[in-house]
C-alpha cells in the first residue's frame, strides 16, 4: 500500500501555478504542498496543510467529483493520467486517524493564540450538513461560541442520508463530525427551524445566524402522470430510505446527476429486475462523475441517452412511460448543445416505478421565513453570504450554491469569515 501511495505521490510535478488548487478545487486546498509533505512522509504536516482550508478531507477525498474538479485541472492529465489527488487526500486522513491527529490537535496553537471575540459572541448554525459543519469549525477555531440546531438526531446531512453507504461509510462521517465537535461546538438535536424553533427567537438569542438547511425537495418535470402511485422523488428516497419492494420490478430513473446515479445503484442493489437511467443529453454532458456512471453500468444499470420523458401512463399507478428521442442542437456560439425532441420518435417502455432525480428545491417553509428569495426559490444572498435580514447568513443548497460537497463546504467556510468580520 505505502509503495503504491508513494508512487502516486511522486507522479505529482509540484506545479508552481497549481491549477489543481487554483482552478480545480472549490476549497482551494494547497494540493501540491500537501503531496510534497506526503512524499517526505511528513503525514502530520500534510494533514495540517489540508486543515488550513478544509475540515472534510476524509470525505472530499472519497466522494468529490475529482475528474471534473482537481484532477480535471491536473497538468499531468493533459497528455496522460492525472495525479490521484482524491486517493492521496483520503490516505492523509487515514494516517491522521491512525496517528491520533485531529482538528483540535493541529489547530491548538492557533486556537490558543486567538483572543475570544469581544463579548463572547454567539452564533447559531441551522443545519449540520457540509456547509453548517464547516462554518461551525472555522468559527470555533476563532473563539466564537457556536451552537448547531439539527432537525435529526445526528449530524452530517446529505453525507448521511443522501450518499449511500457503498460510496461513503457512515463511520467516516461520524468520525469527521466528532472531530469537528471536539472544538467545543454545542448541538441541539431534533430541533427543526419553522417547527421547533423560529428565526425570530434565534435572532434574539444569537449575534449571527447561518442557515444551512439544504434543499432536498425533488424537482418535478410537470409531465402528465407525475401524480400516479409509484412516482418518487430521488432526494426523498435517499433521505428517508422508504423504498418500495423492487423485486422483479422495472424502474426508470429520470436525470443524469449524482442523485440519479445513487438512486439507480441503490435500487439495483435492492433487487430491481431492470433499472434504466433516462437522460435527455449525451453521456459526456452528464453532471455525474464518469466513474459513477461506469460503476453503475458494471452493476447492471442501463442508460438511455438523448431520450426525454413525455408522459407517465397508468390508471392509478405507474404502468408505462412514453419517451421521445432527442437531438443536440447548437443554438448559438455561446451556449452548450441543447436537447431538442425529434418529432414522431415517441415510443413506450414498461415501468413499475419512476424516480425523478432532476435536481432539488428548498422546502416550503423557507418561503415563510421573511427572507428575500431568488427566482428559483432559494434564499437570496449578497457577495458576503448575508440575506435580506441583517446578521442572518445562508449557504449551501438552500442558497443555490453549486451542488457538491466541496462547494457547500466552501460556502460554509467563507460565511464563517464574513460572520467574523460582522462580529
> 347-350 and 320-329: which strand pairing?
antiparallel
Q: Same domain for 343 and 387?
A: no
Half-sphere CA count of 336, side-chain side, radius 13 A: 6
Residue where a domain terminates, one of 333, 359, 385 = 359
> What value does the mean pLDDT of the chain take?
93
414 lies in some domain: yes
Q: Are both 368 and 418 inside the same structural domain? A: yes
Residues 121 and 146 in one domain: yes
Residue 106 covered by a domain: no
With a cut of 90, say whether residue 139 has pLDDT above it. Answer: yes
23: confidence class by pLDDT, cuts 50, 70, 90:
very high
Total tally of structural domains belonging to the chain: 3
- Kindly state the percentage of the chain with pLDDT values over 70: 98
Q: How far is CA 133 from CA 4, 146, 244, 325, in A?
A: 33, 11, 32, 43
Q: Over the stretch 334-385, which tens digit does the pLDDT of each residue have?
A: 667 889 999 999 999 999 999 999 988 888 889 889 999 998 889 999 999 9
243 and 202 in a common domain: no
Residue 196 has pLDDT above 80, yes or no: yes
Q: Answer with the one of 338, 359, 380 that is the final residue of a domain.
A: 359
What pLDDT is recorded for position 402? 76
- Over range 99-121, report the average pLDDT: 83
Burial 138-170 (b: 16+ CB within 10 A, else e): bbbbbbbbbbbbbbbeebbbbbbbbbeeeebee
Residue 107 lies in a domain: no
Residues of the domain holding 304: 218-359
109 belongs to a structural domain? no
Q: What is the pLDDT of residue 118?
A: 60
Q: What is the CATH number of the domain that holds 336?
A: 3.50.50.60
pTM (2 decimals)? 0.92
Are the beta carbons of 77 and 109 closer than 8 angstroms? no
- Residue 382 per-residue DSSP state: -
232 plus 346 within the same structural domain: yes
Q: 115: pLDDT confidence band, cut at 50, 70 and 90?
A: low
Amino acid at each position: 500500500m505505502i509503495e503504491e501511495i508513494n508512487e502516486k505521490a511522486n507522479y505529482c510535478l509540484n506545479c508552481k501555478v497549481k491549477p489543481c488548487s487554483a482552478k480545480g478545487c472549490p476549497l482551494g486546498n494547497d494540493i501540491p504542498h500537501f503531496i510534497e509533505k506526503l512524499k517526505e512522509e511528513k503525514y502530520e504536516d500534510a494533514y495540517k496543510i489540508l486543515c488550513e482550508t478544509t475540515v472534510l478531507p476524509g470525505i472530499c477525498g472519497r466522494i468529490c467529483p475529482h475528474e471534473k474538479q482537481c484532477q480535471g485541472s491536473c497538468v499531468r492529465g493533459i497528455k496522460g493520467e492525472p495525479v490521484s489527488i482524491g486517493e492521496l487526500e483520503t490516505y492523509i486522513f487515514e494516517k491522521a486517524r491512525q496517528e491520533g491527529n485531529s482538528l483540535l490537535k493541529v489547530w491548538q496553537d492557533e486556537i490558543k493564540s486567538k483572543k475570544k471575540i469581544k463579548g463572547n459572541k454567539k452564533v447559531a448554525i441551522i443545519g449540520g450538513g457540509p456547509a453548517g459543519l464547516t462554518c461551525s469549525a472555522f468559527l470555533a477555531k476563532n473563539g466564537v461560541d457556536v451552537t448547531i440546531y439539527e432537525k435529526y438526531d445526528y449530524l452530517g446531512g446529505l453525507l448521511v442520508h443522501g450518499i449511500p453507504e457503498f460510496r461513503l461509510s457512515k463511520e467516516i462521517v461520524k468520525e469527521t463530525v466528532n472531530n469537528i465537535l471536539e472544538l467545543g461546538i454545542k448541538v441541539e438535536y431534533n430541533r427543526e427551524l419553522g417547527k421547533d424553533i423560529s428565526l425570530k427567537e434565534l435572532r434574539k438569542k444569537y449575534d449571527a445566524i447561518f442557515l444551512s438547511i439544504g434543499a432536498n425537495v425533488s424537482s418535478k418535470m410537470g409531465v402528465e402522470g407525475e401524480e400516479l402511485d409509484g412516482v418518487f422523488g430521488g432526494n426523498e428516497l435517499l433521505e428517508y430510505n422508504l423504498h418500495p419492494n423492487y423485486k422483479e420490478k422495472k424502474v426508470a430513473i429520470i436525470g443524469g446527476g449524482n442523485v440519479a446515479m445513487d438512486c439507480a445503484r441503490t435500487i439495483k442493489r435492492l433487487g430491481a429486475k431492470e433499472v434504466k437511467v433516462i437522460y435527455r443529453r449525451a453521456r459526456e454532458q452528464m453532471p455525474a462523475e464518469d466513474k459513477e456512471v461506469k460503476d453503475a453500468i458494471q452493476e447492471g444499470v442501463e442508460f438511455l441517452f438523448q431520450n426525454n420523458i413525455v408522459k407517465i401512463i397508468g390508471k392509478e399507478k405507474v404502468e408505462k412511460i412514453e419517451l421521445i428521442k432527442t437531438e443536440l442542437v447548437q443554438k448559438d456560439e455561446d451556449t452548450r448543445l441543447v436537447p431538442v425532441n425529434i418529432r414522431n420518435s415517441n415510443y413506450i417502455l414498461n415501468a413499475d416505478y419512476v424516480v425523478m432525480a432532476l435536481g432539488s428545491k428548498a422546502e416550503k417553509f423557507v418561503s415563510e421565513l421573511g427572507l428575500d428569495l431568488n427566482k428559483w426559490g432559494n434564499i437570496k444572498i449578497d457577495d458576503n453570504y448575508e440575506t435580506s435580514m441583517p446578521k442572518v447568513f445562508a449557504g449551501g443548497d438552500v442558497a443555490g450554491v453549486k451542488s457538491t460537497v466541496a462547494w457547500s463546504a466552501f460556502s460554509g467556510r467563507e460565511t464563517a469569515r464574513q460572520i467574523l468580520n460582522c462580529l
